[in-house]
Structure 1
Amino acid sequence: MSLLTVDLYQSATNPEKFLALPSGTDPAALTGPMVFDQDYGEVVRYQEGFQFDPEQAYAGVDAAKIAADILTVKWSMYRRPR
């Protein structure tokens, strides 16, 4: 699988929760993430234009699942382990 350029956002109410979106996507235009978890109702930009490699290991997160979510529903919610 090729690299994906994503923007990463962090929940303003729970700093362990993150949202990955295709680069340039406005998180305020999405309703899906906050329907599943209200902690995603307010997010702050964590990193812009991140070159995400689904085959790489990233601090204990399931990179393949994040990539699959982005390619199918255009967003992915995940937690970063402590």
Structure 2
Amino acid sequence: MTRTTDGNALRDSLGQPLTHRVTVYLGGPEDGAELTMEYAATWQEASAFTTAAVHAGLAVTVDSRIRPGLRRLPRYGFRH
């Protein structure tokens, strides 16, 4: 669960700050990707997810442009 605390910092249910935006591009990272999904994540989640996603052949970027309204990174990965 994502929550807002003092100073409007986004945090996960354990109180860890959501400091990274993970963007997943299905169809490539160029303009016009078939599908682009953005998620909020902790540094540890972003690192682990990116490693797994790249090994699975997905195009992923990670930055610090976190903002309210981003969905949490799926806890158990993507399902197809």
TM-score interval for Structure 1 and Structure 2 normalised by the shorter chain: 0.3 to 0.5
Q: TM-score w.r.t. structure 2 length? A: 0.39
Q: TM-score w.r.t. structure 1 length? A: 0.39
Largest Rg, 1 or 2: 2
Higher relative contact order (CA 8 A, sep 6+): 1
